[in-house]
Amino acid sequence: MCHRPLLALLLGFLLLNSACVTIPPPYRSTPDYALRFADIESITLVPPLVSVFAMSSGNVEQEVQEWSDAANQHAQAAVRARVDAIGKTWVPFAGEHGPRPDFRLGLERADRAGPPDGAEASWLLFESAKEAILRHTYDIANVFPAQMKAFDYTLGREAAALLGGTRADAFLLMIATDHVPTADRQALIGVGTLAALYTGGYGGPGATPAELIAALVESKSGDILFFNRVSMPLSDLRDAKANKALVDLVLKGMAR
């Protein structure tokens, strides 16, 4: 009995201490980000990789190109609006097409496919850097505190090839994915939800939130100045308003 006041005092101290811990922002940026971002006057968007899939009840996904194209257009419009809103000059992408290599080659074309060019190689390097950033600064089980504090990732000066001739101080790279449940999957979700009311446990298909990854890269150095990943449940990238909400969320913190 005599130890209870001491235990209560200790618990109170721990709760107060935990409340004072600063939660890191969802985005990652270089230590000198504010200074370098202030020097940026113009920004462009490299054609993003946007993929919208139909997800069946058996967890089989199939990309619907029409959906992906619509979501891509919405994302580009939302990014332009965001760049204008933060007071930077928007520069339209001058290249003829995006820099991503096409791995969906038919057998008859596979033998004729050459090595990736400079822009394609830089995009592949970005995808590798993305995985490293997610693993080292987002994954709780593998996070590296040093990488969180001294965020330092670069694509090198060669990454200027991603600009496709566009004259801009910095460029955005984006990858977006969304999975739209098919009618049969929606039916199973409904059944699982109703069953959960009686059993107390949900046994239906899992949620398929939309995810968006964005990186701001300095053109002259290839350094990744800003990186963020967001995921939003019950969203639909095919919808212009929902798409803009996700873009605004992923770019929140870019201007500060």
| pLDDT digits (tens), the chain, 256 positions | 444 444 444 445 444 444 444 455 789 999 999 999 999 999 999 999 999 998 776 777 889 999 999 999 999 999 999 999 999 999 999 988 777 765 544 444 545 556 667 899 999 999 999 999 998 888 777 667 777 778 999 999 999 999 999 999 999 999 999 988 776 666 655 655 665 666 666 555 556 789 999 999 999 999 999 999 999 887 889 999 999 999 999 999 999 7
Identify the pLDDT of residue 141.
75
User: Which residues, listed in sequence order, are joined to residue 49 by a DSSP beta bridge?
Assistant: 175
Identify the pLDDT of residue 196.
66
- Length of the chain counted residue by residue: 256
Identify the pLDDT of residue 82.
97
CA angle 192, 198, 202 (to 5 degrees): 35
Instruction: List the domains of the chain with CATH numbers.
Output: 22-98+116-250 (3.30.160)
Identify the pLDDT of residue 58.
73
Whole-model pTM: value is 0.80
Closest CA to 44 of 169, 227, 226, 221: 169
Q: Is 141 exposed, middle or buried (0-12, 13-18, 19+ CB in 10 A)?
A: exposed
